[in-house]
């Protein structure tokens, strides 16, 4: 019983109540299920170099969809690259880049709704085009980057024992 309490305490720290997206899990932003060409590699601390998302193999012009319901908070050019960012209920934000947006800032989107089309030219992409898909909890100034693959509905969540 003591071990279960410890697991629940650790889970509460790792997944705070304010960070839940109303129990919803995300779906892939491109179909069919893509190959991950570059994995998540969060910097520690947040301001250091790292890879704050995953790169998904695609093709130029491929549709990109909202991974979950939310509100578009940015749709345009950022640092010379076309980007879409969505705020989801509970403090989660997802970003999609490079995407030529068909949505606009302030627009409410549903899970699976078209956001725009993938553009070729993502730096470091080993194929014709890659979608850089990112996720973070909390406000941008203090955001905690998370691996979006761990938020997918088809990703199993397993608790590991604390001891032998």
Local confidence band at 124 (pLDDT 50, 70, 90 cut-offs): confident
Give the span between the Cα atoms of 69 and 49, in whole angstroms.
30
Q: Is residue 68 part of a domain?
A: yes
User: 118 is in which domain, residue-wise?
Assistant: 24-151
pTM > 0.85: no
Tell whether the model's pLDDT for residue 8 goes beyond 50.
no
64-104 residue pLDDT tens:
999 999 999 999 999 999 999 999 999 999 999 999 999 99
Residue 76: give its domain's CATH number: 2.70.70.10
161 within some domain: no
Q: How high is the pLDDT of residue 161?
A: 77
Q: Is residue 4 part of a domain?
A: no
Does 144 or 62 have the greater pLDDT score? 62
**Which residues, other chains included, contact 96 with Cβ-Cβ below 8 Å and sequence gap of 6+?**
29, 64, 83, 84, 85, 86, 115, 116, 131, 132, 133
Tell me how many domains the chain contains: 1
Structural domain includes residue 5: no
Percent helix, strand, coil in the chain, to 5, is 15, 35, 50
The verdict on residue 55 lying in a domain is yes
Structural domain includes residue 134? yes
pLDDT band at 134; cut points 50, 70, 90: very high
Within a domain: residue 164?
A: no
State the sign of the Cα–Cα–Cα–Cα dihedral 58, 140, 87, 156.
Answer: positive
């Amino acid at each position: 019983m003591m071990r279960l309490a410890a697991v629940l305490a650790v889970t509460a720290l790792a997944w705070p109540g304010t960070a839940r997206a109303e129990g919803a899990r995300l779906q892939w932003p491109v179909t069919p299920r893509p190959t991950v060409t570059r994995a998540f590699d969060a910097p520690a601390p947040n301001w250091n170099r790292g890879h704050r998302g995953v790169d998904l193999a695609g093709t130029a012009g491929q549709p990109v969809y909202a991974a979950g319901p939310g509100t578009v908070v940015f749709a345009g050019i950022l640092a010379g690259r076309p980007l879409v960012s969505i705020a989801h209920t509970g403090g989660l934000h997802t970003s999609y880049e490079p995407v030529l947006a068909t949505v606009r800032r302030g627009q409410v989107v549903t899970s699976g709704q078209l956001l725009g089309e993938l553009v070729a030219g993502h730096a470091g992409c080993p194929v014709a085009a890659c979608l850089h898909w990112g996720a973070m909890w909390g406000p941008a100034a203090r955001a905690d980057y998370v691996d979006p693959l761990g938020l997918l509905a088809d990703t199993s969540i397993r608790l590991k024992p604390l001891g032998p």
